[in-house]
Amino acid sequence: MSVCIYHGGYDTVRKSGVGKALEHQTAALKSAGLPLVDQLPPAGPEARECVVHLNTVLPSALLAAARAHARGCKVVYYGHSTMEDFRNSFLGSNLLAPLFKRWLILCYRQGDVVITPSVYSRRILMGYKIGRPIYTLSNGIDTDFFKPDADRAARFRTRYSLGEGQKCVISVGHWMVRKGLPDFVELARRMPQVRFIWFGQTDDALLTDEIRQAMEAAPGNVLFAGYVNAEELCDAYCGADAFVFLSHEETEGIVVLEALACGIPTLLRDIPVYDNWLQDGRSVYKAATLDQFESRLKDMLAGHLPSLKDGGMAVAEARSLRQIGQGLCRIYASSGFLEAAKTSPEAARAEAAAKKRRA
């Protein structure tokens, strides 16, 4: 069998977690030794042995699903998005959320199976009554790239003029309420001796009034660094003193895996998505209120709490791209995709012809 990862709309999602997940699938499948094709094969034997991955919910992906089915391909639709994590995101997102849910259901129903990155997001999608098998599989993390590195750490601290002993806290994400940006600004205001840097950005036209006000009122120890490439982001994970992720809603959180893989002390909002795989005090620290974030973060920076580096890196390694590649193979097998490729009429005729030639 072969796999085609549909790249339509990639430029639109390139800077998001969906774009990163799409890249991870390519690497994971290569690690598993599965052949990748760039385009949908024409109708016929090759198409019947091809699995198509769809990652976006753009209209072009819906059309790609229709073409794939018409040619006899199997379709895997990734459930990266939910109505719940669409809320409190962009200007007008709360008003559009119910319509977005209906669109998601329409899209995900085009898959022969749906893959979503966490037990939590699977539970949400099961409530949508999609009528398709839904599997849980992490988006994964490239542990060969994201890992502790002293040279990267030094480069980061030099780039941002961080002196000896200067504490630095980072976060990563779009500028939105859901990602916890207002709380990040308030946390910085309460800890004026600490440098706070936020990586990532959002188009100005999509910003809500709450985000604009929070950013305009940010104290001088906050820097909005904007979007940076993977190299610079990895430098930051290696060189900062703590990673704080205040997001209110996620389906997984690739940046959390990146941080854990780099061994940076990590503090997360205590939300359901982390319940079954990130334990407070073992791989991460968690907080529920701003006061708790402040207290936990101060203790982390002062060295009053035990290091959880080994536990965090173990979580990331269990979700390495090698592990994800094997997980995809198991899903293909469970869904009958591998067997279908072996037993399709075209495959049977090809195998019989090959045996005849060998005889």
Position 115 scores a pLDDT of: 98
Distance CA 98, CA 53 (A): 25
What is the CATH code of the structural domain delimited by 2-140+320-358?
3.40.50
Domains 2-140+320-358 and 150-317 alike in fold? yes
pLDDT band at 358 (very low <50, low <70, confident <90, very high): very low
Sketch the domain layout of the chain as residue ranges. Answer: 2-140+320-358, 150-317
Neighbours of 98 (CB within 10 A): 11
Position 155 scores a pLDDT of: 98
Q: Which two tokens stand for residue 69?
A: 């089915």
Rounded to 5 degrees, φ, ψ at 114 are: -120, 135
Q: What is each CA distance from 294 to 15, 17, 244, in whole angstroms?
A: 29, 27, 11
Position 41 scores a pLDDT of: 87
pLDDT over 90 percentage in the chain: 85
Closest CA to 175 of 204, 199, 201: 201
Q: Which two tokens stand for residue 134?
A: 């839904």
Position 46 scores a pLDDT of: 87
The angle subtended at Cα 337 by Cα 132 and Cα 101, nearest 5°, is 25
Bridge partners, residue 2, by sequence: 50
How high does pLDDT run on average in the chain?
Answer: 93
Bridge partners, residue 269, by sequence: 287
Q: Helices in 127-169 by DSSP H: which ranges?
A: 150-159
Our measurement of the distance from residue 23's CA atom to the centroid of its chain's CA atoms, rounded to an integer in Å, reads 10
pLDDT at position 347 over 50: no
pLDDT at position 231 over 70: yes
Position 170 scores a pLDDT of: 98
Residue 293's H or E segment, with its range, is helix 290-302
pTM to 2 decimal places: 0.90
Q: What is each CA distance from 270 to 180, 278, 285, 287, 294, in whole angstroms?
A: 12, 10, 9, 5, 14
pLDDT at position 345 over 60: no
- Hey, what amino acid is at 64? A
Distance CA 346, CA 288 (A): 57
Residue 235's H or E segment, with its range, is helix 230-239
What is the per-residue burial (b if ≥16 Cβ within 10 Å, else e) of 161-191? ebeeeebbbbbbbbbbbbbbbbbbbbbbeeb
Give me the sign of the Cα torsion angle 169, 162, 236, 175.
positive
Distance CA 77, CA 354 (A): 34
Residue whose token pair is 């999608």? 125
Quick: pLDDT tens for 314-324.
Answer: 999 999 999 99
Q: Which of 5-9, 187-191, 213-217 has the lowest mean pLDDT?
A: 5-9
Position 1 scores a pLDDT of: 87
pLDDT at position 112 over 60: yes
Distance CA 73, CA 6 (A): 13
Average pLDDT over residues 64-68: 95
pLDDT at position 280 over 60: yes
Distance CA 84, CA 81 (A): 8
pLDDT at position 173 over 60: yes
CATH superfamily of 150-317: Glycogen Phosphorylase B; (3.40.50.2000)
Position 134 scores a pLDDT of: 98
